Each structure stands twice: as structure tokens, then as C-alpha cells.
Amino acid sequence: MHALAVEQLRKVYRSGFEALKGVDLSVEEGDFFALLGPNGAGKSTLIGIVTSLVNKTAGRVAVFGHDLDREPEAVKASLGVVPQEFNFNLFLPVEEVVVNQAGYFGIPRREARRRAEFFLKKLDLWERRRSEMRLLSGGMKRRLMIARALVHRPKLLILDEPTAGVDIEIRRAMWDYLRELNAEGTTIILTTHYLEEAESLCRNIAMIDQGRISAVAETQTLLAGLDIETFVLNLTAPLAGAPGLDGFTLTQLDDTTLEAQLHRGQSLNDLFAALRSVGIEVASMRNKQNRLEQLFLEMVDRGRGAAAAQAA
Ligand code: ADP
Ligand code: MG
């Protein structure tokens, strides 16, 4: 059974801009799925349509087999959504936000209070239950939106950029809780423009760019397709120039910083050993945050390659 099935989905905004250009996408029940793409790709538009906030121009959407046009109520009942923008009454106390939401789904008051307590405790917000929304930090607001999205126990949870503006510690706790929910059987779809987020959490990834799906694959398969990874290395001592090392592409950024490209099959250990052999020690390093761009570039290259092969 598909938790979500989208066919030939198109969205043309009133401005005439075509944000979705015929999207086909299906997500299996039980999956932890990422919709990965840069800003402006159409992620929020897609989520907006599935959650009835945006009208589609054409195409079909089904959630657990319920067609969005014919059975919108069944779709709503199966779905929990955490939108990208906060959309709360800022003066409402935390607990009421969750209890009111339960009300929309016809959950009796006592049961609603019980569930609010359960989810607010799970998301580490119970202590703040009497605080007004506006007094919460960004991370707390995001967690409250998750609690609110879960109160009717949806089978599919959709989160639009859930960790935007959330600090590292909280992000980790949030990831753990999402994993727990998924392990208990909730299908999860999240949108992100962080490859790392998709990589850490999701089993399957669809890449979206300019309103089109450019790839759908298991996370492992997709990442194995990354031919080049770029690292930024901080050195223990200043360098006069970038050393020439066989097989590695090195660029000097400043006195004590090198950029290194690793090709598929090369390991960081190989690189460190090669550097050490010419007297260079690495103090620290980081993955340059361009792996997503890299992945897009490689997808485009491969697409061109395939087109060229077909033409030949
Ligand atoms: P993402 O969530 O991937 O960043 P969006 O779905 O928000 O992308 O936006 C996709 C494209 O549609 C962007 O170019 C955006 O400017 C445009 N867009 C979004 N909302 C509207 C709107 N209400 N009217 C016109 N264009 C819009
Ligand atoms: Mg968005």
C-alpha cells in the first residue's frame, strides 16, 4: 500500500509561474522518505497540495488509497503535517494549541488532554505547557508543531523543513524522536535542502529541482553515486603552496587551509597518509557543504550523458 501516491501533479500559480511540472511520486507505507531539493524547487508547493493548503492545477493525489478530490476528509484524518512556516495563535498557551487541534479531529476533551500530555512530554515541552506560544524559542515552536501534528495519531507524518532554525542539540533529539515514530510504524516524509539530514534519517530520497523529480532512489544508492567529495582541511602549520600529490586534487585556500577532492574509491586515510609523507599534518577537517550541489551536478551530467548516448 502506498502511503502517498502522486501522479502528474502540476501547479501553476496565479502569477503564471509553473512550480510543479508533472510530478510522479510514490511513498511506501512505513517508509522514512526525503523530498530533497534546493530552495524554490517546489517542495512546499507539493506538501501544500497534499495537505489541502494549495489547490493543484492538474494531477492526482492519494493518501493510503484515499483520493484527495473524492475523499478529502479521509486524507486529512490520515495525515499529520508540520508546515515550514509557524501558523499559530501566538497568545495561546502551549497545551491549548494541542488540545484545540485534537478538537478539530473530534477527539473528546478528556482524551485530548491525555494525548496532549503524552506528546508534550515526548517532545520535552510539558514544563512549558502554560507558556504562551510567543514566549517559546524557535526549536520549541517547531517541537510544538510536531506535537500538534501527532495528536490525532496520523499514519503519515509530513514535515516541511523540520530543522530549519533549530540548534544542533535539539535537532539531534528531534531526529531521535522521528526515528522512534517511524520504528513504531508511522510513515514519515520530510522535505529538506540538507543532504546530511536526508542521509541520516531517510531510507529513500526523491530529488526535486525546478518543479521536476530528477531522481528517486534508496539513500545508499544515491550517495554511492557521488563521485567526488570535497573536504576542507585545516593544517597544523602554514604552507608555502599546495603540494602536488598523485591522484588527489588539492587547492590552497589560505596559509593553513587546503581544499581536497576525493574521488570514488579514495579514502580520507589515503589522503592523510599522502599528506603526511610530504610533512603536512591535518589539525581538523570538515565536509564542504556542497554535496547536494555536487549530487545535482552529477545528475545533470549523467542525464546529458544518457541523452548523448541516445542521440548517437
Ligand atoms: P521550496 O519549498 O522547494 O523552497 P516552493 O514550493 O515554496 O519551493 O516554491 C516553488 C516556486 O514557486 C518558487 O519559485 C516560488 O517562488 C514559487 N511560489 C511559491 N508560492 C508562490 C505563490 N503563492 N505565487 C507565485 N509563486 C509562488
Ligand atoms: Mg519550502
DSSP symbol at 93: B
Task: Map residue 73 onto helix, strand or coil.
Answer: helix
Report every protein residue that has its C-beta within 5 angstroms of ion ligand 2.
43-44, 84
130 and 12, same domain (yes or no):
yes
152 and 195, same domain (yes or no):
yes
Give the contacts of 71 (CB within 8 A, at least 6 positions apart). none
232 and 172, same domain (yes or no):
no
Q: What pLDDT, on the 0 to 100 scale, is given for residue 186?
A: 98
76 and 211, same domain (yes or no):
yes
Q: Is the pLDDT of residue 302 over 90?
A: no
Ligand with an atom nearest the CA of residue 16: 1
114 and 237, same domain (yes or no):
no
73 and 157, same domain (yes or no):
yes
Residue 40 Cα to ligand 1 midpoint, Å, equals 6
On whether the CB atoms of residues 29 and 186 are closer than 8 A, the answer is no
pTM of the model: 0.80
On whether the CB atoms of residues 229 and 37 are closer than 8 A, the answer is no
3-25 per-position pLDDT tens digit: 999 999 999 999 999 999 999 99
**Domain limits at 230?**
225-291
- Locus of grid cell 493518501: 63
- Give the number of domains in the chain: 2
99-128 per-position pLDDT tens digit: 999 999 999 999 999 999 999 999 999 999
Q: Which three cell numbers stand for residue 74?
A: 479521509
On whether the CB atoms of residues 90 and 132 are closer than 8 A, the answer is yes
51-98 per-position pLDDT tens digit: 999 999 999 999 999 999 999 999 999 999 999 887 778 899 999 999
Do the strands 212-218 and 79-82 form a parallel or antiparallel pair, or are they unpaired? Answer: unpaired
Q: What pLDDT, on the 0 to 100 scale, is given for residue 93?
A: 96
Q: What pLDDT, on the 0 to 100 scale, is given for residue 246?
A: 80
Residue 83 Cα to ligand 2 midpoint, Å, equals 9
Q: Is the CB of 17 under 6 A from ligand 1?
A: yes
172 and 284, same domain (yes or no):
no
Alpha carbon distance 250, 237 (integer Å) = 16
